[in-house]
């Protein structure tokens, strides 16, 4: 009998199986995102998760290069169960692969965005949707370029402490705080259908943008924001970018630019569930910086968010 015939002998990260829950011991085995099999050939894959461990564009604390590895490890705790409260398991319903990390020359910083765009475009061309694990928030811009090339201008749904609308007209700059400005200037996003959630910093001289903003105080103020966010996003394609610093540092201290007054994990979990039905076509989870983390709590939050993003992506397709 081959080892893989016995349920407890399966190591899903290398089994080649594309669907099903993971039953390995949480603390052992080859680590992959939610125990999905690693694959570079994405034929027949519905969604590929890929790490982009680039963090040279941060304003303050680096370390997000270790984000994908930490999120994968934290995710092994969840691989045996459906995500809570969704009523279905995207792991059983869809063929989801871990496409591994994107390789790049860490010393050729200005070349990295182009490589990310080509990497994500390759996943989309293979017919799979793409979930990027960052990396700092600069990785969202080339991912948006790849998605806009396929779908046209998308609605941006951004969970973030920062609006990332700081002025930056130098295309050669690689900055984690200006991707929204550049995305608007490049016509990658439809601002009138875009929403920012959880922001709580001022941007001096911010341009007119037209993006709907539910800042952190609006979320803390209560009320059911889900329907209001869905109404702005409309029926067209949505790209979700999730900066882990939308959480209060009490929930996610391991990040590059923490800001007090942030969202709780419970608030974000409820909001993501309330968005079921949007046409999510792509996403990223960025700015998890394990060297500044404690007890793995930021990576755990990132893994939960990424799993709920899978559920949200699959909702209309299930």
Chain residues that interact with Mn ion, rule: CB under 5 A: 160-162, 243, 245
203 within 8 A of 163, measured Cβ to Cβ: yes
Nearest distance from residue 250's CB to Mn ion, in Å? 16
CB of 245 to Mn ion, least distance (A): 4
Nearer residue to Mn ion within complex by CB, 246 or 303? 246
64: left (phi over 0), alpha (psi -120 to 50) or beta: alpha
CB 300, min distance to Mn ion, A: 19
User: What pairs with residue 154 in β-bridges?
Assistant: 189
When the beta carbons of 162 and 193 are compared against Mn ion, the nearer one is 162
DSSP code of residue 195: E
Q: How many other β-carbons are positioned within 10 Å of the β-carbon of residue 16?
A: 11
DSSP H helices, the chain, are 67-75, 90-93, 112-125, 140-151, 179-185, 216-220, 225-233, 265-274, 297-314
The packing angle between helices 225-233 and 265-274, to 10°, is 50
- Asked whether the beta carbons of 230 and 278 are under 8 A apart, the reply is yes
Please state the closest distance from residue 61 (CB atom) to Mn ion, in A.
Answer: 12
Distance CA 59, CA 62 (A): 8
In angstroms, rounded to a whole number, what is the distance separating the alpha carbons of residues 100 and 271?
29
Over 33-49, what HEC string results? HHHCCECCCCCCCCEEE
Q: How far is the CB of 109 from Mn ion (least distance, A)?
A: 20
For the bound state, the minimum distance from the C-beta of residue 235 to Mn ion, rounded and expressed in Å, comes to: 28
Residue 171 gets which letter from DSSP? Answer: T
The answer to whether residues 139 and 179 touch, using CB atoms and an 8 Å cutoff, is no
Nearer to Mn ion, 58 or 280 (CB): 58
Kindly list the distances between the CA atom of residue 103 and the CA atoms of 52, 111, 179, 246, 290, in Å, as whole numbers in the listed order. Answer: 8, 12, 22, 28, 20
For the CB of residue 303, give the shortest distance to Mn ion in the complex, in Å: 19
Rounded distance, CA 186 to CA 173, Å?
15
| Pairwise CA distance, residues 198 & 261, whole Å | 9
Smallest separation (angstroms) from Mn ion to the CB of 216:
12
């Amino acid at each position: 009998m081959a080892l893989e015939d016995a349920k407890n002998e399966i190591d899903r990260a290398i089994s080649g199986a594309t669907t099903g829950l993971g039953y390995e011991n949480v603390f052992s085995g080859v680590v992959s995102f939610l125990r999905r099999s690693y694959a570079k050939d994405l034929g027949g894959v519905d969604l590929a998760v890929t790490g982009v461990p680039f963090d040279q564009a941060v304003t303050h604390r680096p370390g997000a290069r270790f984000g994908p590895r930490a999120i994968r490890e934290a995710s092994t705790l969840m691989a045996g169960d459906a995500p809570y409260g969704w009523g279905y398991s995207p792991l059983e319903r869809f063929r989801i692969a871990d496409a591994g990390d994107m390789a790049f020359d860490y010393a050729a910083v200005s070349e990295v965005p182009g490589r990310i765009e080509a990497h994500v475009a390759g996943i989309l061309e293979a017919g799979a949707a793409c979930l990027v694990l960052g990396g700092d928030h600069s990785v969202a811009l080339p991912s948006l370029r790849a998605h806009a090339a396929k779908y046209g201008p998308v609605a941006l749904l951004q969970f973030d402490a920062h609006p990332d609308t700081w002025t930056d007209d130098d295309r050669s700059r690689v900055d984690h705080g200006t991707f929204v400005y550049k995305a608007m200037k490049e016509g990658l996003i439809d601002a009138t259908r875009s929403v920012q959630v959880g922001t709580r910093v001022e941007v001096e001289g911010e341009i007119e943008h037209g993006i709907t903003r539910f800042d952190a105080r609006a979320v803390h103020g209560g009320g059911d924001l889900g329907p209001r966010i869905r109404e702005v996003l409309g029926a067209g394609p949505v790209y979700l970018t999730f900066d882990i610093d939308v959480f209060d540092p009490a929930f996610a201290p391991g990040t590059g630019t923490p800001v007090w007054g942030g969202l709780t994990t419970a608030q974000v979990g409820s909001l993501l569930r309330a968005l079921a039905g949007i046409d999510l076509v792509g996403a990223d989870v960025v700015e998890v910086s394990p060297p500044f983390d404690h007890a793995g709590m930021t990576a755990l939050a990132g893994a939960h968010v990424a799993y709920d993003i899978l559920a949200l992506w699959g909702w209309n397709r299930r």
